[in-house]
Structures are given as C-alpha cells and as structure tokens.
Structure 1
Amino acid sequence: MELTSSFGLTFFYDYATPSKVVLWLASIFSGIILCVLVYTSTAILSSLLFKGYGKLSSAEKIEWNNRGFSTFHALFVSSASFYLLILSDVFNVNSHGDVVINRSSTLSDAVLGISIGYFLTDLAMILWNFPALGGLEYVLHHGLSIGSITLCLLSGQVHIYILMVLFSESTTPFVNLRWYLDIAGLKSSKLYIWNGIALFFGWLGLLWNYFSW
C-alpha cells in the first residue's frame, strides 16, 4: 500500500520492515552511547592533558565536554557522507536504474540513525542546561533535524539531500576548536588565526560543492 504526496514523493507503509527497524533503533542507541562515551572521555583526557581544564567553571566544563562529542559526530558524519556521496556508487546517476532521491543503503541508514542519536543526546543536554548550551534556536534546529532525518529513514527517500547537509558538519571541528582556543586564553595564538582561515575556506568549499552538486 502506498501514498503519493503532492510533492511527487512516494511513501510506502511497508517500507519499515522489521530488519530495518532493528537497524534504525540499534543505530540511534549506538549514537547515544557514543556521545556519552566521548563526553566522559573528553572530561577524563582534558583533566589529564590540559592544566587549564580544572580552572574552568562547571558550566564551561559541561560545554567543553559537549563540544567533544559534537566534534566526534561531525568528523564521523562528514566522513561517512563524503564516502557515500563521492566514493561509493550508491548515489551515482549511472550506477542504478532508479532515481537518485529514492536510493538508500544499509550504511546510509546507519549513519542517519547515529546522527539522530547525537541530536537527541545534544537536545537533552541543551534542555537540561537551558539556556547555557543554547537558546530556543538550538532547540528548533535540533527538533527540525531529528524530524527531517526520521522522515527520511521512514520513507527511504532523499537520503542524498540529508547526507549533503550532514557533510556540512565538516566545518564544526573548526568552530569548536575556535571556542576551545578562546576559552583557553589562546585567542591571540597563530593556531587561532590559522583555524579561522581554514574555517573561512571550509565554508567557501561547502558552498562551491553545493552549487556543483
């Protein structure tokens, strides 16, 4: 049984097979667990390797650790998105008979599920520490992200567009490093300047890629 929307997209009620549901749930919980592990590891390693970590306030430590799993998620999803979009043949227009927006794979399902796990974890932290980690705009952003990725998984469609958005997370590590250097009192360092330059060109590169796609 199927339902066709006014936008020309087709949603299948029976698309969510038991095996797919298990994969999605396992991926989401894996994303949550990974965030917790990286958050804890960031706190432990920072206390051992960075002397200034102990001088941070409680709120600053929470954000410091939070940006740890934010960086991890960004590196993971941007790398996976690059592989799926560029290196693999999943979304190659010449490799399959069906249209690109209807294509998906086990790996893309897993990546999107892990990303939902990240957004759920980060949203929970934002709400628990509100508004220290972000205001209503962050809540709206995460809510829309969770909703759009969930619809993408349930329909099995437009994976390519969600992965293109997730690829833009490749600039997040530079944003987080900028915050780390600022809070560590290294705003005048050469690393801070070079990181800012890399961030600028990273954004330009993303814009060029989006227009070329």
Structure 2
Amino acid sequence: MALSRKALSMPTYHNQAELLLKNYLFSDPIIPYTSVLGGVVACKVLYDFVKLISTFYFRSYNGLTKIERMEWNNRGISTLHAIFISIMSLYFVFWSDLFSDPRLPGVITLRSSGLSTFTLGVSVGYFLSDLAMICWLYPSLGGLEYIVHHSLSGIAVAYSVFTGEGQLYTFMVLISELTTPEINMRWYLDISGLKKSNAYLINGVVIFFGWLVARILLFGYMFHHVYIHYGQVLQMHIFGYFLVFVVPLVLGIMNLIWFGKIFKGVMKMLRKKQ
C-alpha cells in the first residue's frame, strides 16, 4: 500500500512541475524575462565550468596571466553560445515552418513563438554578460569595435524578444555566429604556442570560407529577402523597421573590414608555407 501511494504521488509532482513551467516560467508574458535572466545565469555557470575543466585538463591554462585566464573562460562561454544560437538560427530560418509556412496567420515580420522568443532571450542574456565583461576589463577583451558590435546586436535581439517583431531577420544575422568557435579556437592555438602548427593554418582557411558564407553571402541573402518582403517589413514599428536596415548594414560593413584582414592573414600564412 505504501509503495502504491508513493507511485501515485510521483505523477502528481511531475504534473505540478509541468504546470509551474507552463504557467509561469514559460508563459508568453514571462518568457522574455525568464529567458534573458536564464541566459545571464547560464553564462555565470558556464564561466565557472570552463574555469574548472581548464584548470585540470589544460596544462597551458595554469601558466597564463589572470587576464588571459579570464579571456580563456570568456571565450569558452562565447563558443558554447555560438554553437547553441547557430543551431537554433539555422533551424528557424531553413527548417521551421514558423517563417516559411504561408498558411500560418500574420506576416512573417510579426511572427514569433514561445521557443523562438526564449532562444533569442538567452542570446540577449549572453550579449549583456559579455558586454559587461568587455567593459569591465576594457580593452583586454576587445576594443571599441567589440562594444559597438555587441551593443547593436544586443539592442536588435532584445527588440525582437520583447516585441516579437523581425525575429526571422534576427535569426538570419545570428547565423553569423557560426564563425565564432573558429575565431576562439585561433586564439586558443595562439595562446598555447601553436601558431606555427598545421592546425593554425587549417583554422585560418576555415575562418576564411566560414566568414565568406556566414558573414558576407548570408547578409546579402538577408537584404535580398528584405527587398522581396518589403511590404511586410513596412508593417513593423518604425524602430523595428530602422533596426532591420541599420543594424545589419553596420555589422555587414564591419564584417567586410574584418574579412579583408582575414584574407591578408591567410595569404601571409600560405606564402610562409610555400
């Protein structure tokens, strides 16, 4: 009898947990706030996790300066966020019916879902956390260009989270995070004394092609998509309309400048290998 009562109580607790998540943490009005807070908390947890793992499994980590160890941990968070948001962005842009199914109500620029909003909210939490670290340790983790990049990205993503507008184009821009793990890996190889290794060369080539696709060609595709659906873009709020054009344009120009530097760096390495 005691066992049966215990067995009966387990589904009850399970149902209560589901109701708590559905009616509070993941209810539509609360999702933007819980997701942003969850993103900030996740960054703190991941920072400590990367620090713990690196202390025991990477010999070069313990020989770094305090600032270098903080950047090591920060780049670990950056890499994990990039993997998460890239996968989710690719899903929503190319595989989900949310923005592609014409049978769904509403124009694509005003469509959103609980999952899409939660995903972007987590990304806002990351941008806030990373921007705080960049400003706190300025300029050790990056100069003014990083502050501009993170500020624009954070504002645009936050707008999509709290209004539900322009989420499709936000995900298109966030696909560019595909290049972040390779950029971070380049820094790890450099700080570990492997700048002259074949892995460093291969990494540079991967960055070149990844940057070309995710940060140059994809931005062109996004602007083409905006042009085709311009009538639906006009239905956004004036601030959202402004963000759709200005933020990708500024980020696109920055990507072109960085791509020029990447191209020169790859060509320089290839000449040395000849």
Please give the TM-score of this superposition, normalised by the length of structure 1: 0.86
- SS state at 2:28 partner: helix
Show the counterpart of 1:138.
146
Quote how far apart the aligned CAs of 1:42 are.
1.0
CA RMSD of aligned residues (A): 1.7
Show the counterpart of 2:19.
none
After superposition, give the CA deviation of every residue in 1:91-126 in whole Å (9 maximum; x if it has no partner).
Answer: 115342432211111111011100110011111111
Amino acid at match of 2:220: F
Quote how far apart the aligned CAs of 1:70 are.
0.4
Q: Percent identity?
A: 44
Alignment of 1:195 onto 2:203:
yes
Amino acid at match of 1:38: L
Show the counterpart of 2:107.
99
Alignment of 1:204 onto 2:242:
no
Q: Distance in 1 between matches of 2:203 and 2:91?
A: 25
Structure label with greater radius of gyration: 2
Q: Which has the higher contact order (CA 8 A, sep 6+)?
A: 1
Amino acid at match of 1:179: W
Alignment of 1:30 onto 2:14:
no
Alignment of 1:125 onto 2:130:
no
Q: Distance in 1 between matches of 2:194 and 2:150?
A: 30
Q: Distance in 2 between matches of 1:188 and 1:33?
A: 37
Show the counterpart of 2:265.
none
The structure richer in helix per residue is 2
Show the counterpart of 2:58.
50
Question: Is residue 181–residue 192 contact of structure 1 (8 Å, CA) maintained in 2?
Answer: yes
Q: Superposition pairs for residues 158-197 of structure 1, below 5 Å?
A: 158-197=166-205
Show the counterpart of 2:70.
62
Alignment of 1:77 onto 2:66:
no
Please give the TM-score of this superposition, normalised by the length of structure 2: 0.68
Question: Is residue 74–residue 169 contact of structure 1 (8 Å, CA) maintained in 2?
Answer: yes
Q: Distance in 1 between matches of 2:173 and 2:32?
A: 19
Moved over 6 A (4+): none
Amino acid at match of 2:98: V
Amino acid at match of 1:79: I
Change (3 A) 1:48 1:29: same
Question: Of residues 108, 115, 132 in structure 1, which corresponds to 2:123?
Answer: 115
Q: Distance in 1 between matches of 2:46 and 2:134?
A: 17
Q: Distance in 2 between matches of 1:151 and 1:196?
A: 34
What stretches of structure 1 of length at least 5 have no aligned partner?
1-17
Quote how far apart the aligned CAs of 1:135 are.
2.3
Question: Is residue 131–residue 150 contact of structure 2 (8 Å, CA) maintained in 1?
Answer: yes
Q: Distance in 2 between matches of 1:155 and 1:204?
A: 31
After superposition, give the CA deviation of every residue in 1:55-88 in whole Å (9 maximum; x if it has no partner).
Answer: 1001100100000000011000000001111111
